[in-house]
Structure 1
Amino acid sequence: MAAPINTGRLLHSTVVLPKGANLASVIFLHGSGDTGSGVRGWIETLLRRDLEVKNTKLIFPTAPLRPYSPMNGALSNVWFDRKKIAPTADECIESVDIACEEVGKILREEADSGISKNKIVIGGFSMGGALAYHLAYRFHRDIAGVFSLSSFINKDSIIYQEVKQVKNGLPPLFAAHGGKDPLVLFDWGVDTVKALESLGVSTVFHEFPRLHHELGVQELRLLEEWLSKILNV
């Protein structure tokens, strides 16, 4: 049976509940072609356990199945479309904003359940991190923070245009990138972080010289430490 084409609504979320009280939430967005359960499994394989952040729910949404231009229109679980994988490419902003609205519903659901937005962090790997940038710096500047792993913002992104109008109150950023990344080049990731920093974003950046376009054990451990500090629950 063919998988349904769903260019808007999220397919499902994998949720990991905390062992103790639920006082905070982390939303982790997968990269292109993956799923929420897929990236959670990847983390479990590397760490031999889930991410561990005290009193914090982990939410791993799955992007809709939609035509993806870099794959000649083939269907893939991607957060948004893009013309090509390059810093200078124009953003397909309509599809970005649809994804922001859908993932934003998770943020609102968490807030409605009693989790303060300043106890919510959103981030992701590759395209997931890119969407997290849009969510955090355009639509939800009152969250606790954002993380970006092997990710990017396009050179003339609307994010930069909108952040220029904001004087303070921008969520802090944890970013990490592999020095041997062949897909989202290291310099692209660095330029993204430097641009945000120049606009007033408090940043923590880690380079992993031997890492390709992938997650790493030390990277995830540093992320856990940062999340625990930012959420402080």
Structure 2
Amino acid sequence: MQRANPSVTHALSLALSLTLLAAVGCDAGVAPSHSGTPPRPPSSAKPPAPSHGTVAETSKQLREGRAASLRFFETGDATRSLPMVIAIHGLGDRPQKFGQLFGAYPMRVRWIFPEAPIPSGRGFSWFKYSGQTDQQVATGIRHAAEQIVELAKALQRIRPTRGKPIVTGFSQGGMLSFAAAAIAPDVWHASLPISGWLPEALWPTPAQARKLPPLFAVHGENDTLVDFGRTQGFVRALKSRGAAIRFQSFPAVPHRVSNEMRNAVYQELSQQLQRLSTN
């Protein structure tokens, strides 16, 4: 794969005027649900412009950049050595909106929110999903995961980074969090997939599974869009092959990120960052 020039621009300073209390559904304090609904046909129109304001509760500034062929938004002083967390949005979502999920996170990190390249509805998609065979989905996931890996490598070259980056994401982003860890385990300190699984064509062999970074996955048990049962089967396969994975499920939660799921991810992220600081 050819890599684009990893130089990053900071011409645009953005912020989001959204709060975590503006939740989708009935649970106050939950970040909006990032839908895994089948995509609409890509629009030929330009995607809507990013919103402005402050990231929920923390007034973090988002700056736009581009590296390794991907547009992304970031927080944190570009000259300061910080831990890096790459957080990947789901189908039909946008990185600025997905950033709400982490707006209340208290520890100082460099957040990277990459933008998927395929227009889908009012947002973007990382790969085609609806109407695809498992093999076609696997091909799309692998290609997108390779883009995420190249982005991580490019950013580590141009941003002072404390240790290896952590990757997380929801729905399609959860799938890519698994896939990026599987295809480039040495790149990551840890992977925290939310509501994602991998098709069997991408399952690591036992030898590969034992080399994976620490994995912590969460999923709502009532999720029918990104099927919870498939995640259970994938996690069992990873464990049987020797992967260091922990899995937490959440009863009655559909395809969304509940308060409890968000808190579990926050807690695991804090533990991984503590380990990172002592290495």
Verify same fold: TM over 0.5: yes
Q: Report the counterpart of residue 169 of structure 2 in structure 1.
A: 124
Q: How many residues align?
A: 209
Question: Is 2:249 the counterpart of 1:203?
Answer: no
Task: Give the counterpart of 2:94 among 35, 55, 58.
Answer: 35
Q: Report the counterpart of residue 177 of structure 1 in structure 2.
A: 219
Once residues 131 and 193 of structure 1 are traced to their aligned partners in structure 2, the CA distance between those partners, rounded to angstroms, is 15
Task: Go from structure 1 to structure 2 and tell me whether the alpha carbon gap of 1:170 and 1:131 turns closer, same or farther (over 3 Å shift).
Answer: same
Q: Report the counterpart of residue 17 of structure 1 in structure 2.
A: 76
Q: Report the counterpart of residue 71 of structure 1 in structure 2.
A: none
TM-score, length basis structure 1: 0.78
- Give the Å deviation of 1:83: 5.7
Task: Give the counterpart of 1:57 among 80, 99, 110.
Answer: 110
Give the secondary structure class of the aligned counterpart of 2:111: strand
Once residues 25 and 217 of structure 1 are traced to their aligned partners in structure 2, the CA distance between those partners, rounded to angstroms, is 23
Kindly name which structure, 1 or 2, has the bigger radius of gyration based on alpha carbons. 2
Task: Give the counterpart of 1:2 among 45, 50, 73.
Answer: 45
More helix by share: 1
- Give the Å deviation of 1:75: 9.3
Q: Report the counterpart of residue 264 of structure 2 in structure 1.
A: 222
Task: Give the counterpart of 2:128 among 68, 78, 81.
Answer: 81
Task: Go from structure 1 to structure 2 and tell me whether the alpha carbon gap of 1:123 and 1:167 turns closer, same or farther (over 3 Å shift).
Answer: closer
Give the secondary structure class of the aligned counterpart of 1:146: strand
Once residues 178 and 92 of structure 1 are traced to their aligned partners in structure 2, the CA distance between those partners, rounded to angstroms, is 22
Task: Go from structure 1 to structure 2 and tell me whether the alpha carbon gap of 1:94 and 1:192 turns closer, same or farther (over 3 Å shift).
Answer: closer
Q: Which runs of 5+ in 1 are unaligned?
A: 69-73
Q: Which runs of 5+ in 2 are unaligned?
A: 1-43, 48-67
Name the Cα RMSD after superposition.
Answer: 2.7
Task: Give the counterpart of 2:144 among 87, 94, 99.
Answer: 99
Once residues 37 and 167 of structure 1 are traced to their aligned partners in structure 2, the CA distance between those partners, rounded to angstroms, is 33
Q: Is this contact kept in 2: 1:33–1:76, CA < 8 A?
A: yes
- Give the Å deviation of 1:187: 1.2
Question: Is 2:196 the counterpart of 1:151?
Answer: yes
Q: Is this contact kept in 2: 1:9–1:64, CA < 8 A?
A: no
Q: Is this contact kept in 2: 1:83–1:89, CA < 8 A?
A: no
Give the secondary structure class of the aligned counterpart of 1:165: helix
Identity %: 25
